[in-house]
Structure 1
Amino acid sequence: MSSAMRRMMGAKKAAQKQQAEAEVPADTASLAEQVQSLSVKDEPAEMSQSTPEPVPEPSAEPSSSSKSSSTSETSKQGPTEPIKPVQTKPAKSKAPKTAPASTGSTEEPTSGKSKKNKKGKEENAVPTTPLSVSPPLLNPEHEIKRIYGNIRLWDEDGTAENFTNQLTNNQKKNLEKLSRVWGGKDKRSVPGTTKKLTLVTIKPYWIPQIKSEMSVARLSADPGAFRFTHSDSYAEGEFQFVQRRAIGQDSADLFGQYPYNVSTLNQLAGNGINTGQASSESADLIERALYVFNRALLTSSQAVLGQSKFQFKYVENRQFYRTLYLYIDILARRGLWNTTLEFSKLIYSLDDADYDPYGCRYMMDHFAVQGGDTTAIKYMLEQKLAPQLGYSLALALLLDGKDAEAEQALRTAIKTFPWIGYTLAESLGTPHNHRFDSSGSDSAIEAQSQLYVLRNRTLWDDPKPKMLFTKVWDTVAFDYTRSKGPAHWYNMNESLKRHLVISGEPTLLKYAQPLAESDLYDDDPVPPREDVNVYSSGEFAASDVTLAGQNDGTDQAQDGELAPEVVAALAQIQQLCAEAGMDVMEAFQMVSMDVPEAMRGVLLTEVVNSFADE
């Protein structure tokens, strides 16, 4: 075998030498072009990822050293006749190859398909309405890079150390090896599936979750409505959490046993947010909960974020609402206002717009003002979603430098709903001659006025906004007639009460009675009257639920013997580890490429079990 190889190599070198000698008389310019073309042909992948450099002009009299190096490069490549067409092809494909990388899209990868990716990008970038959800904008990394560049706002390594400092050295080593296949290179890949996470990236120090314990089901009564469902093992942990919560017992120890139980994660994160401590740990806990829901969404081919309904009456869905709301709080603390607004739109889209169980209409305008999204505010004002929107539009226009439009918008806002203006004037200490007749007021008007001022007072207290408000408030003529807006502006509905409770402002709780008098649990605050809670009743009511499509292949119950492909792959992994001394997870990465996608999760489970036993 070796002698045959030597003969082949000798013949190849002789042919290359003859070809090189024949091409030496070629002119210098064509030789330089051939060398450039050869370098393009050798490394197409690298050139598609890097910025193309300008090709230098060849000198009229190249040195002998450069000529000899060029000749040696040419001789290595063999015949150079097909070089010229290769020279132009990569140049044409450079721009399309690098363009999709900047979008940060988490769409499922396709083959060839810049047109398909471009189409998907256009669909996401042009929503149906200004309140439609654009999934790529749910990734906070886009806004972080736009504002701060390529820097990190929080220390992931420090967070990792806080969560792994209780592990033994062997456990840390095992966790490090498992993380090589946990999340993939983009940290958005789930083992056993080609789909990508949209809401969150997987942290390498998270405990790998081999199979999802939550999935998505479609309600048989409404094809467009869905419901999260729990596996038996997840339900066991949820029942333990509910029992401990009922008697006031701490549930922190359940985190070690059920690291992906959403109720436990939300409670621990909420405690950290309410006390103002451990913000990075709270963010990490909420991101884990988001991962649980995002992976569950991958089990359905029909449920689409921003388009599908997850009715608030189901306790499993309410956990999703709560997780998203806590994450909004974290994003707002980091100043990522556009991402915060996008997640607010997502909560708003989960149930009927008229219901709006979390009262997103009372906070989306605040995030839009901070992020400079005047279009969203105008749309909400046209829909008359809430009475404070006219004030927010005036503030957004003023911050955008449109002073005349801002003044006109503020006059209209004061005439339409003057109670907010009165409360703002009192808070800013603005002198005025207006008198508010409190005898005809009600709790809904006062609550909305107080809520708006608490959120936006600091914005109006800047010199320019305060000057405009003082000017308009002292000159505009208005009355307190309650007939200038829709009826829900003046009614204390369940949506407004729940929003006042979850806002965390103690001064607003008096307006939310009697909801605020009931037991308030941080993981499920203010359940609806039409509450469907399988854990409070102790029974699983699944009669109105039908499964919505196949899952990601890792969630199937594995009863009986393993599939022959899995058994063969396990034997191959053991052989590579024993005979070649290969690391178990490196062997898994190599062997799993030949295993069907639906079986990779099962294979990983068996590998982890065997690895843990060792």
Structure 2
Amino acid sequence: MSSRALRRLEKQRLEQEVNREDHVESEDDVLPVEAKANVFALLNEESEEEEKEEENEEAKEEEFKKVVVETKSKKSKKSKKKKASKKKQEIADSDEELDRILAEARKKDQQKLGDSRESSVKPQIGESYEDIYDFEEELDMEPTPIAEYDSNFKFFTSKRLKDSLPLLSIDSVKNLDPDQEFRHLFGNLSMETIEDANTTTSLAISPELLQQFKKLARLTRGWSGSDRRGVPGTTRKLLFTKIKDDYLPTALKPMGMEELKPDECIKYLDYKEDSAEIEDLEVKISKEANLGVRYFKFTKVNNVQERVANTRFYASVVMTPDPESLMQLLQQYPYHAETLLQVAMVLLRQGDNKSMSNSLIEKALFVFDRSLHKRFHEILSEAKTGLIRLPYEGFLNRQFHLCLFRYIIALGERSAFFTALNYCKFLLSISPAEDPLGVRYFIDHYAIMSEEYKYLVRLAESPLATTYNNWFTPGIAFSTVLAYLKLEDKENARRSLKLAFERHPYVAYKLMENIGLAVANVNEGDIPSDELTLLAGETYLVRAAAIWNQQSDRQFLHDELELLFKKSPVKKATVGFKSSIFAMLGMSTGNLKTGLPYNLIRFAILSGENKIMAKLPEAVWSREDTFEYDLLPPKNTTVDYNEFTGIINKKSGVVDSLIDYIDQNLLGAIVQNRTADNDFEGILRQLDEQEGNEE
């Protein structure tokens, strides 16, 4: 029954009731009529003609109401109350019946159309939403942890992601500002002190040139501002960094950012998939979108200057390594992110200049900060970092991952452990399943150092640590024991230590030897160990002494581990990986001959710890893609078929690398003639002419 028909029935009923009485007793009697009109206004199913008719009917009803209101009765107050009460009850009963009819009609319509908010996946013709198979329901029923990784980490389902969102999100975007933590640590720092720290230059710069930068900053509209967070072209503020005096004022953004559409997100999943169908991936992306998850990608600016910078960087790092050339390149292109990160590491290795190196890393973070997409900026401003994804297949996305990793290390060196922990959450959230740089191998350290013990306990019990066997890293396992001790909960500390002992017996033995007060009464050779056990264990052992620094905690660790070694036999650790995961990540098991996951290898190299890197197999160092600026990138193994030329390799847009953004002619000239800086003018003129012809 349509809304128009229901309106007519209601009108007829009202007219009959009014005719039975001479007058309406009070104005309150007509108020339910207005309420009913509002109920009908909720339906939007009529056609344009029906809507016009209803508008006419509503106008007539309004006139009718006015006449009814004007004909008030002169009966006694007692009679008025009785009849009014009776009238209201009758109309209320009628309202309930009408509401029931409307609710049933609305329910039928929703069953036919489906609730679009539940899923963005469109059913096929003749198929209802209930018929769509949800493969994640079966995975949710599987017991965890899972011993082997699978492509796209499908066991980390949308339900488990939803349970993990609070742990991936920061409480406030201010927690990403180290100045906030310094104020908390050292009291109310004066603005002069903070301003003095913010004016520190990233590289040696003459006072004359610095004055020119300041003058240019005043002329560049929208640059810096009083809070040092304003950039030209937008009213949005910087969220990660502040502008320092030696940052060259410019209105041009060095890179861009775009939000990925659902079909593009599916391509990222499908490219590394070996079992699920496209329909399953559509369901997964749709369920993530319903949670609010959004995918983004940093993009390069396609112009002559950017291609020249990319080409010179590639030549100076890959073709013929030349640190001096990199320094010159940085002076000419001060906002080239790859150069900033590479020079920072050169300074750290050659001169051990941590202060200048950290300043360059922060400047690289500023480059990404000013390029954020509007939607990305909004989500981050709301501190909902758990809803942001940056696929590791994108080259500039990988540079952003790398920049965040090194910035976390820099924050730790400045003892800003709470800020470092929040950046760990952020870095983990932008790719929580793949975790390409191994945040799980050091997030526990910053949680302990910042005294966020409850967070670490929740993390250890969440799907972020329990879904897969290797997500429960030695660091998370044993640091949780220490967290319970700090919370004065020895019972749960014993329970956690028993679990950590069962999962990581080799690390337990080493802790007994290095942190405890005596050596375990077992032989080290009796404890099963392999390359994965040794490397993963070293990521924790190298920093365990820094957190197990209380005598009472060491005594507890010694006593409990001694009992566990006496009572519990050491079980062989479960280590298993599907070969498909290495193909998914671009890793050839035939060449590498190891079962180490990529994120652990990347973490070991980026950590810079000699003890950790010493545990890596030699096959890692002999690979051709072990570059510091892009460690073990995913490989695009897809090919396109051309009907005229046959099968050809072609960039599909899923995986890109630096080689896709260089100029081959310029690279050839650099390699062949070892072109000097003053010879670039002729090549640049040729590139300008080529770009003009293309336009």
TM-score bracket, normalised by the shorter chain, equals 0.5 to 0.7
Does 2:345 match 1:259? Answer: no
Does 2:451 match 1:372? Answer: yes
Rounded to whole Å, the distance in 1 between the matches of 2:613 and 2:376 is 41
Report what 1:103 is aligned to: none
Of 292, 314, 317, which residue of structure 1 is paired with 2:367? 292
Does 2:385 match 1:310? Answer: no
Contact preservation (8 Å) 2:532, 2:596: yes
Q: CA, structure 1 residues 178+465, in 2 after alignment: closer, same or farther (shift >3 Å)?
A: farther
Of 300, 307, 320, which residue of structure 1 is paired with 2:400? 320
Does 2:573 match 1:507? Answer: no
Of 578, 598, 606, which residue of structure 2 is paired with 1:494? 598
Rounded to whole Å, the distance in 2 between the matches of 1:225 and 1:355 is 15
Does 2:639 match 1:533? Answer: no
Q: CA, structure 1 residues 141+180, in 2 after alignment: closer, same or farther (shift >3 Å)?
A: farther
Q: Which amino acid aligns with 1:252?
A: M
- Shift of residue 244 of structure 1? 1.4
More deviation, 300-309/227-236:
300-309
Report what 1:435 is aligned to: 523
Q: Which amino acid aligns with 2:541?
A: V
Contact preservation (8 Å) 1:362, 1:386: no
Contact preservation (8 Å) 1:131, 1:376: no
Q: Which has the higher Rg, Structure 1 or Structure 2?
A: 2
Q: CA, structure 1 residues 487+460, in 2 after alignment: closer, same or farther (shift >3 Å)?
A: farther
SS of the residue corresponding to residue 297 of structure 2 reads strand
Task: Tell me the TM-score normalized by structure 2.
Answer: 0.54
Q: CA, structure 1 residues 169+357, in 2 after alignment: closer, same or farther (shift >3 Å)?
A: closer
Q: Deviations over 1:119-177 (max 9, x none)?
A: xxxxxxx9942232443311112211111123358953773395431745873563464
Of 217, 229, 246, which residue of structure 2 is paired with 1:188? 229
Correspondences of 1:146-545 after superposition (within 5 Å): 146-151=184-189, 152=193, 156=197, 159-160=200-201, 163-165=204-206, 167-168=208-209, 171=212, 174-175=215-216, 177-178=218-219, 181-220=222-261, 221-222=263-264, 224-231=294-301, 232=303, 233-246=305-318, 247-250=320-323, 251-274=326-349, 277-298=352-373, 304-305=379-380, 306=385, 307-351=387-431, 353-382=432-461, 383=463, 384=466, 385-388=471-474, 389-428=476-515, 430-437=518-525, 440-476=528-564, 477-482=567-572, 492-513=596-617, 514-518=619-623, 520-530=626-636, 532-537=655-660
SS of the residue corresponding to residue 435 of structure 2 reads coil
Contact preservation (8 Å) 2:296, 2:391: yes
Rounded to whole Å, the distance in 2 between the matches of 1:154 and 1:278 is 22
- Shift of residue 321 of structure 1? 0.8
Rounded to whole Å, the distance in 2 between the matches of 1:301 and 1:391 is 35
- Shift of residue 474 of structure 1? 1.3
Q: Deviations over 1:321-366 (max 9, x none)?
A: 1111110011001111111111111111222x33111011111111
Contact preservation (8 Å) 1:394, 1:410: yes
Report what 1:23 is aligned to: none
Correspondences of 1:1-20 after superposition (within 5 Å): none
Rounded to whole Å, the distance in 1 between the matches of 2:188 and 2:328 is 37
Report what 2:159 is aligned to: none
SS of the residue corresponding to residue 217 of structure 1 reads strand
Rounded to whole Å, the distance in 1 between the matches of 2:169 and 2:202 is 38
Contact preservation (8 Å) 2:200, 2:245: no
For the aligned residue pairs, the C-alpha RMSD in angstroms reads 3.1
Q: Which runs of 5 or more residues in structure 1 are unaligned?
A: 1-125, 541-614
Q: CA, structure 1 residues 539+372, in 2 after alignment: closer, same or farther (shift >3 Å)?
A: same
Rounded to whole Å, the distance in 2 between the matches of 1:209 and 1:127 is 40
Does 2:173 match 1:132? Answer: no
Rounded to whole Å, the distance in 2 between the matches of 1:291 and 1:449 is 35
Rounded to whole Å, the distance in 1 between the matches of 2:233 and 2:661 is 33
Q: Deviations over 1:166-212 (max 9, x none)?
A: 74587356346448952111111112311111111112332112111
Contact preservation (8 Å) 1:214, 1:234: no
Q: Which runs of 5 or more residues in structure 2 are unaligned?
A: 1-162, 266-293, 579-593, 638-654, 664-695
Q: Which amino acid aligns with 1:517?
A: S
Task: Tell me the TM-score normalized by structure 1.
Answer: 0.61
Does 2:179 match 1:141? Answer: yes
Q: CA, structure 1 residues 168+328, in 2 after alignment: closer, same or farther (shift >3 Å)?
A: closer
